[in-house]
Amino acid sequence: MTARNVFKAAFFTILVLLLSIPAVGQENGPVVQRLSWLPVDYALKYEVVVEIHTRVNTWMEIFRRNVENETFVDCPLFIGSYRFRVGVYDLLGNPGPSTDWVYFERRSSQENTVPVEAVPAELPENIVRAPDESEKTIFRLEILYQPLIVLPFSDFNEIYATSPIQPLGFALRFSVMPYSTPAGVFGLELSPSWNFLANDILVTSRYTHIINTHISLLWQIRPFSRNSALNFRLGGGFVYISSHFGFNQQVSVVNVKAWNPSVAVGVSFISFLNKQLFLNAGLDYFHIFAGDNLSINYLRPVLSLGWWI
């Protein structure tokens, strides 16, 4: 590099530094200024941008930070004229609108720092958000895939010991949650379901259809974030069991059909995808009060896609 080029580089570096000097002189170093804003519902994070007014009557960015769990930042500033604004991101990380610029000055390094506040931005209509229980009654419809796991202490285990995990099972869930309290949201849930159990061993065929309908009390809380929830359910209903047992090349066939009362408890985790769709994953435990002192118990893992209004 020639001496001429070195001189040009040094000149432009000094020029940039001079342009960034605020219009009012500095005294005794920077002062921490708190910049704050009101919270925005369903915001994933905020982006704060601070600019300084230079001697050549332009604005230059000096500070940019993302904030997730607070509605303020502390920014070290020299004496001068400044402006800042806050941008909002929705629950999927998509940028929304920003606040208007808020203008303020640091006149003296000795003056008390007064927080500067911005007006909150309004998020667009397509904001990804969880339902607000305080706004209205929530209705939900879910389509579930639910295999069945035969428990070792169940009488079913003697029949399906070689195939304790039965993959065929589906269900629907209809939920209404009209009661919102500080402890969570409460409602009712109706869930018809079907499972098919099969086990073929040599010349022996065994299969069972389980059809049940349950009504459950539902309790929903949000311990983690606004775009997720935990559901707890406790309920009961009736189960129709239709079993076929064929032995010795079906020379001997036993068919059993019966209605039985049942109870169930369950827990699931909901993740809201957008304004109307959500995913639900959980586990239910069922106990059937069968006749002849039979004990029928099983687990049903649940994975569902749901729609709420």
Q: What percent of the chain has pLDDT over 70?
A: 75
Q: Which residues pair with 241 in a beta bridge?
A: 210, 258
- C-alpha 189/C-alpha 216 separation (Å) is 5
- C-alpha 154/C-alpha 11 separation (Å) is 86
Of 19-28, 54-63, 186-195, 286-295, the one with minimum mean pLDDT is 19-28
Q: Where are the domains of the chain?
A: 3-118, 138-308
Flag whether pLDDT at 285 surpasses 80. yes
Q: Token digits for 162?
A: 């070689």
Reduced to 3 DSSP states, what percent helix, strand and coil does the chain have, rounded to the nearest 5? 5, 60, 35
Q: 96-144 pLDDT, tens per residue?
A: 878 888 888 877 655 545 556 665 544 434 334 444 444 456 789 999 9
pTM, rounded to two decimals: 0.57
Average pLDDT of the segment spanning 239-265: 80
Q: What is the pLDDT of residue 252?
A: 60
One-letter identity of residue 144: L
Q: What is the pLDDT of residue 24?
A: 39
Number of alpha helices (DSSP H) and beta strands (DSSP E) in the chain: 2, 18
Q: 156-194 pLDDT, tens per residue?
A: 777 787 788 999 999 999 999 888 777 888 999 999 999
| CATH architecture of the domain with range 138-308 | Beta Barrel (2.40)
Q: Token digits for 175?
A: 């939920």
Element (H, E) at 11: helix 3-19
CATH topology of domain 3-118: Immunoglobulin-like (2.60.40)
Q: Token digits for 126?
A: 């397509």
Q: What is the pLDDT of residue 126?
A: 39
DSSP letter at 160 equals S
Average pLDDT of the segment spanning 235-253: 78
Q: Token digits for 191?
A: 């869930």
Q: What is the pLDDT of residue 232?
A: 96
Flag whether pLDDT at 7 surpasses 70. no
- C-alpha 21/C-alpha 12 separation (Å) is 15
E strands present in 165-289: 165-166, 168-181, 184-201, 204-221, 228-247, 252-272, 277-289
